[in-house]
Structure 1
Amino acid sequence: MKNALVTGGSGGIGAAICRRLAHDGHHVFIHANSRIDKAEALASEIREAGGSAAAIAFDVTDATATAAALDAITAEAPIQILVNNAGIHDDAVFPGMRPDQWQRVIDVSLNGFFNVTQPLTLPMIRTRWGRIITVSSIAAITGNRGQVNYSAAKGALHAASKSLSLEVASRGVTVNVVAPGIIDTAMSEHAFDADAISRMVPMKRAGQPEEVADLVGFLASPQAAYITGQVISINGGMI
């Protein structure tokens, strides 16, 4: 059993990833920021199904709080599977975007990536086994109106992951990005109606969180040991 940490684990995609990793036999730390009750409920659900999980709360933009939380959960064993799923969007057309809209989105996705990933990397190197998987977005590949901040943050994660993969490849640690398209979650249900999805997606449907989780589960497995430095989009043929 390996220890896994899923940031933003209480949301739609995050919860599906937590369930998949627990199903695969890992102990899953389910991270939340303000919704610790949802993370605790998910952890309880996983345990009742025979899996192993615990909830943890911290703000990924707070380096000190993040370090303290990570120290606590790695006191006995390292995190060997990290899924960076925490992220927010605060959409506005660029000429009207406020500085705080830009900064907050960058802080959570990009600075949060550093605050969580950097302390966990050396222990993975020492054990010569690790999986770092970051959940991005198709917006980082194609761009999207009203999401210059979000696209910038996610696109930077693509570059960071490719560079990090080169540094740790010889140590048995893989680093990859999963970039979903339109996924059927609470975040997207008001953004795209059925007609829009039919026009935009060749498969004529939104993806399911479980389909994203299946890809993450594979990348976290021993079978994916030769896959690193990749951005894999799961989007129903949109690009």
Structure 2
Amino acid sequence: MRLLIIEDSADLVRMLRRVFEGAGLALDHAGTAEDGMLMLDVGHYAAVILDIGLPDRDGREVARAMRMRDDPTPVLLLTARGSVADRVSGFDAGGDDYLVKPFAPEELVARVQALLRRSGMVAHREIVCGNIVFDPASRDVRIAGVVTVLSARELSVLEALIHRHDRVVAKSQLEAQLFGMGDELGSNALEVYVHRLRRRLAEAAASAQIVTVRGVGYMLVASA
């Protein structure tokens, strides 16, 4: 299960990634509100951990924008400000829980797991394009009825494309998805992973293909 943390402290994120991975939860990272919104546009996340004090925008604006577009993803707000007024404003913006820094990592994990349990009643519909079937909850991929194992980055690209199949996904959005996974990537990393994913889809006899929209991005379309 994959989470998104929107937090500008890289040191905190590195520490939290180890803790969450130990609990069986993968953590994608955005360092700014803008990058976080791009990743939310193209990825499906079980929950969002959102710092209020981001360098480019108040995190509550991100939560508010999510709710305005009817995004039900659970949001846990992080902040150094813990007054009653601050908490109320966070909940009013669309936050589901609120944790004041500094905090014990174990408490953050426990709170996120509680949010996941509460939201577990919501069924996630499978997404289909051609004979490719993607399960957002488990992140399993089936092609022609056969489970297909992809690398983490190949899966990240496919997830972004299949969520918006038949529509163009901008290169900047896909790059935000890839760069949010932690390691440094080269300037042509996106092209490399798109090429690898195309090859994997062809090998599995997928009846959908990745189309390049020159100068804009990529789209996943069912074969005619």
Q: TM-score surpassing 0.5?
A: no
Range of TM-score over shorter length: 0.3 to 0.5
The TM-score with structure 2 as length reference comes to: 0.40
The TM-score with structure 1 as length reference comes to: 0.38
The structure that is strand-richer by fraction is 2
